[in-house]
Structure 1
Amino acid sequence: MAEKFIFEPNDISQLEDHYDVVIIGSGATGLTSALQAYELGLSPVVLEKMDRIGGNSTRASSGMNAAETSVQLEHHIIDSMDNFYDETFEGGGKQNNPAMLRYFTQHGALAIDWLAEHGIILDDLTITGGMKTKRTHRPSSMAPIGAFLINELLKQIDKTSIPLFTGIKVDHLVKDANRITGVRASKQDQQFNIDSDAVILATGGFGANSNLITKYRPDLAGYNTTNQPGATGDGITLATEAGAKLVDMDQVQVHPTVQQDTDHVYLIGEAVRGEGAILVNNQGQRFVDELDTRKNVTAAIDNLGGTGAYLIFDQAIRDRVKAIEFYDHVGLVTSAASITELADQIGVSSDNLNQTQVKWNQDVARNTDSLYGRQTGMRAIEEGPFFAIHVSPAIHYTMGGINVTAETEVIDNDEKIIGGLFAAGEVSGGLHGNNRIGGNSIAETVVFGRQAGQQVYKYIAGLK
């Protein structure tokens, strides 16, 4: 695993009053768009309201989806962009924006290559729910993708001396006619006016804003969230004040496997199931295809009546998901030498859990899930020690957001483009339909982060 790179943000005294493009947000979308814009000859700046860099991207664990990559071929996996499109469209309830989805699925492989050109190598593969093919790329160390990607992108930001400021909040987009010409920002009691030819909103979603969640999804009031505290929808507020149209705001994803028994909420990444873990109820029995879409797995756990469920896996599966080391370190994992002992520790029927294990291993050997039709991530649970993690659903991702074109241009309420305003990543809406597929969020940050940087360059060139 790569050592954590210590990045020092710029001192506020270094903030200038003009940049070609202001990028709001320091997650993977913001860092990618800044690097792409810089490589096209622009002068970008990244403004982050939090003291910590990386946003929600640092919490992503599974990987980055892409189809028809050289990495897949090296693993003897034959994939197609059309299949990637179809499975994502199906997983999103066929409510995805077709133009955005087409661009997304056709540029994932290019994004993997672009990262590799920068020394960011994703050469291992796993699978997530709703996908039928291993197309979730991750580092060979199997480290959680989010922190790895932010760490490596920050090395590039440092290398290129792209200015990045933390603790500075953009309060207003400056608009002249129907064109954005800069921002007004603040840091504690200091005020800043920054002129720019373009602005990229890369502020993430609103999963940590209980008021917005309750406004659009009152049925989710009181749910815990996996989001970092800064995910409050600031970009959505800025954009709407500038006249932007919003889409799909009621489409909020609840992640099915979240550990919530401690003071902190921990998302248990989909790679755990992707590498073979099963879910059992309080009777020690399976109850769902574990790699169905997040929406369907969440519904199945909710239907258990509030008890949550247990992820069950063995040492071989644990060895394929390095994030489990962290989960264990913070006390989320129950361990036992045998399935019987594990059942006793988590309070389920040992007879049932033993029967579940035997049945699962038989199905794996036959390569068919006779109970729920699971087709992917089938791995026997037979190599002790054995492990369990108690999980239940929590708010995870907001599919809705700013209405944008496939070129990341922001659309206003009159269906016109707001000049100089671009949005990418979770702050934008439309790509995922009514359900986001695991591995598509990190892919979105790189694919559309690059797109935003490129389209800003094209836009600014057109002003001259």
Structure 2
Amino acid sequence: MREMEADVIIVGGGASGLAAAISAAEQGAEVIVFEKANTTGGCANMAMGLLGVETKLQKERLIDCTREAAFQKFMDYTHWRSDARLVKTYIDQSASTIEWLEDMGVKFALPSKYFLGSEATWHIVQPKTGAPGLRAAATMIKTMTDRAEELGVKICLESPIQRLIKDEGEVIGVVAKDKDGDIEAYGSAVIIATGGFGDSPEFIKKYTEYEWGKDLFSYRIPGLTGDGISMAWEAGAARDRMDMELVFFAPNTGGYAPIELPFRQPNLFVNLDGERFFDEAVVENPVFSVNSITRQKNRTVFSILDESIMKEYEKNGLDLVNVVTSNISMDDFKQEMNDMIKNGNDVLFIADSIEELAEQTGIDKEGLIKTFNQYNESCKSTDKLFNKNPKYLKPLVGPKYYALKFAPSAYGSLGGIKINYNTEVVDNDDKVIPGLFAAGTDANSICNPDYVFVLPGNTLGFAVNSGRMAGTNAVQYIKENFSEE
């Protein structure tokens, strides 16, 4: 058994772990990061950007979103279920975090809204090459990794943690394992930042209301199997609210695939009974949409449009565009549609009549025909069912009809380890477990009950900011409780 020592030991080398490492090292702490993958970043490598409020970039663009207003909007959205002091600290720090990253060399393309009703808090990372888009934040992770190493942080890759080491109630280190065997690493503070349980169908089934592959088709970033959460619980940590960061995708297409482009529009949506179930204009908000989808039979719905609508989108563009889909064109859609037709699939359906479409999809035929007729009648006047905006009322007249299946998905998990507003892990009596901190997805229970999409950038934003907080607080804990010797 080899031994290692440091002031701060960090479990996980994703966005929150790297932020914690840099923050602690900038204050002079010796830091070791253990990461079980062969590279840093974790799910942050899939992300686009993070939340910032009252940043220079926003002020330069006359974006009027104050910290006070953002805090109020966040707490109103969660009905004050979240830890208000933790949320306030996170939001108040977010602008300095953007500057902190810029000082390292991270460049941001723009602060963006996700949809029209949201705030422009999403600071999209500018990749070194190409336009901002999915996976843009991988550039930020590379910069953060370089900065950590420049500060002397030791990053141990392919070195999973086995358990925490406790002594008289205090967490004093970890047991890790690499290709050469077991390691005991001792430190004055340990920060857990392992990225949640999005790659664990067992965790998902046990701790959420979903079953992966049956009624949930979420991203699975390899290695995010709840390790940090489990070891924190074993050390006495209280269990906090656990859920998925829900959105909706066409199952097994990879999420925000080109095939979804014209179907993520405010046209006719129906469930398996053939009935409408929401005002389709809500489709621009993934959280509101998925909340409605989860109430439907088998958590399955279909977006239906016809050839006339397809041609209109090709000629005039889409009704709704967001930052994620802005780099996808109808040409990309047609290419993927042709590939799916050629290779076979179970999400896209094309028919010459509504009756045939019902047979292909499994939608109740009588229900679909009834809804189809009612909807087309509404398009002549007003939508008396959901008061849908008339500009989105487009009749389905054929000659071909298209349907795409949608179901709940998720970017990853949320929550598991209960922390206080100082990012200290607490037990079931809300007492601090000395020496133990947590950050990022493992401890993200602030989006309660839903991901706060009205302030986009929250997952990566909380990861980086809570990581900074944990690194700072861990060093402060060491200064207050240990002598210089």
Pick the TM interval, shorter chain: 0.7 to 0.9
Asked if structure 2 preserves the Cα contact closer than 8 Å seen for 1:244 and 1:402, the reply is yes
Structure 2 residue aligned with 1:450, among 458, 468, 483? 468
Partner of 2:198 in structure 1?
A: 207
Inter-CA distance 429–442: structure 2 relative to 1 (3 Å threshold): closer
Structure 1 residue matching 2:92: 3-state secondary structure: helix
Structure 1 distance, partners of 2:28, 2:139, is 26
Partner of 1:136 in structure 2?
A: 122
Alpha-carbon shift at residue 428 of structure 1 (Å) = 0.6
Asked if structure 1 preserves the Cα contact closer than 8 Å seen for 2:264 and 2:284, the reply is no
> Deviation digits for residues 38-93 of structure 1, max 9, x if unmatched?
111111111111224211111223x2122111111111111111221222223334
Inter-CA distance 186–139: structure 2 relative to 1 (3 Å threshold): closer
Structure 1 residue matching 2:417: 3-state secondary structure: strand
Partner of 1:8 in structure 2?
A: none
TM-score (norm 1): 0.76
Structure 1 distance, partners of 2:351, 2:113, is 29
The amino acid across from 1:371 in the alignment is K
Asked if structure 2 preserves the Cα contact closer than 8 Å seen for 1:318 and 1:324, the reply is no
Partner of 1:371 in structure 2?
A: 388
Partner of 2:350 in structure 1?
A: 347
The amino acid across from 1:458 in the alignment is Q
Instruction: Please say if 1:18 is aligned against 2:5.
Output: yes
Structure 2 distance, partners of 1:326, 1:33, is 39
Inter-CA distance 455–195: structure 2 relative to 1 (3 Å threshold): same
Structure 2 distance, partners of 1:300, 1:26, is 35
Partner of 2:70 in structure 1?
A: 84
Segments of 5+ residues of structure 2 without an aligned counterpart are: 271-275, 339-347, 355-371, 380-385, 392-402
Structure 1 residue aligned with 2:34, among 47, 56, 62? 47
Correspondences of 1:55-454 after superposition (within 5 Å): 55-61=42-48, 63-128=49-114, 132-140=118-126, 141-144=131-134, 145-188=136-179, 190-220=181-211, 222=214, 223-249=216-242, 251-256=243-248, 258-262=249-253, 265-266=254-255, 278-281=265-268, 287-292=280-285, 294=287, 296-302=288-294, 306-309=300-303, 321=324, 324=327, 333-334=336-337, 347=350, 371=388, 391-438=406-453, 439-454=457-472
Asked if structure 2 preserves the Cα contact closer than 8 Å seen for 1:293 and 1:437, the reply is no
Q: RMSD over aligned Cα, in angstroms?
A: 3.9
The amino acid across from 2:33 in the alignment is V
TM-score (norm 2): 0.73
Inter-CA distance 76–170: structure 2 relative to 1 (3 Å threshold): same
Instruction: Please say if 1:460 is aligned against 2:478.
Output: yes
Inter-CA distance 282–434: structure 2 relative to 1 (3 Å threshold): closer
Asked if structure 1 preserves the Cα contact closer than 8 Å seen for 2:198 and 2:220, the reply is yes
Inter-CA distance 170–261: structure 2 relative to 1 (3 Å threshold): closer
Inter-CA distance 53–434: structure 2 relative to 1 (3 Å threshold): same
The amino acid across from 1:455 in the alignment is N
Inter-CA distance 20–389: structure 2 relative to 1 (3 Å threshold): farther
Structure 2 distance, partners of 1:248, 1:292, is 23
> Deviation digits for residues 347-375 of structure 1, max 9, x if unmatched?
389999xx99xx9xxxxxxxxx972699x
Structure 2 distance, partners of 1:428, 1:131, is 28
Structure 2 distance, partners of 1:290, 1:322, is 13
Partner of 2:364 in structure 1?
A: none
Inter-CA distance 319–459: structure 2 relative to 1 (3 Å threshold): closer
Structure 1 distance, partners of 2:421, 2:334, is 43
Asked if structure 1 preserves the Cα contact closer than 8 Å seen for 2:302 and 2:405, the reply is yes
Asked if structure 1 preserves the Cα contact closer than 8 Å seen for 2:46 and 2:138, the reply is yes
Structure of higher CA gyration radius: 2
Which moves more between the two structures, 443-452 or 86-95? 86-95
The amino acid across from 2:108 in the alignment is L
Alpha-carbon shift at residue 420 of structure 1 (Å) = 1.1
Structure 2 distance, partners of 1:291, 1:329, is 20
Inter-CA distance 319–454: structure 2 relative to 1 (3 Å threshold): closer
Structure 1 distance, partners of 2:39, 2:250, is 23
Alpha-carbon shift at residue 394 of structure 1 (Å) = 1.5
Alpha-carbon shift at residue 124 of structure 1 (Å) = 0.3
Structure 2 distance, partners of 1:30, 1:92, is 26
Asked if structure 2 preserves the Cα contact closer than 8 Å seen for 1:302 and 1:308, the reply is no
Structure 2 residue matching 1:254: 3-state secondary structure: strand
Alpha-carbon shift at residue 332 of structure 1 (Å) = 8.4
The amino acid across from 1:34 in the alignment is A
Structure 1 distance, partners of 2:293, 2:241, is 24
The amino acid across from 1:55 in the alignment is G
The amino acid across from 1:75 in the alignment is R
Inter-CA distance 436–161: structure 2 relative to 1 (3 Å threshold): same
Structure 1 distance, partners of 2:99, 2:27, is 17
Alpha-carbon shift at residue 123 of structure 1 (Å) = 4.2
Structure 2 distance, partners of 1:297, 1:117, is 38
Asked if structure 2 preserves the Cα contact closer than 8 Å seen for 1:226 and 1:267, the reply is no
Asked if structure 2 preserves the Cα contact closer than 8 Å seen for 1:142 and 1:322, the reply is no
**Percent identity of equivalent pairs:** 24
Asked if structure 2 preserves the Cα contact closer than 8 Å seen for 1:21 and 1:196, the reply is yes
Which moves more between the two structures, 146-155 or 73-82? 146-155
Which moves more between the two structures, 239-248 or 392-401? 392-401
The amino acid across from 1:404 in the alignment is I
Asked if structure 1 preserves the Cα contact closer than 8 Å seen for 2:114 and 2:322, the reply is no
Alpha-carbon shift at residue 291 of structure 1 (Å) = 3.7
Q: How many residues align?
A: 407
Partner of 1:38 in structure 2?
A: 25
Asked if structure 1 preserves the Cα contact closer than 8 Å seen for 2:50 and 2:458, the reply is yes
Alpha-carbon shift at residue 136 of structure 1 (Å) = 1.0
Asked if structure 2 preserves the Cα contact closer than 8 Å seen for 1:399 and 1:436, the reply is no
Alpha-carbon shift at residue 329 of structure 1 (Å) = 8.1
Asked if structure 1 preserves the Cα contact closer than 8 Å seen for 2:256 and 2:325, the reply is no
Inter-CA distance 330–409: structure 2 relative to 1 (3 Å threshold): farther
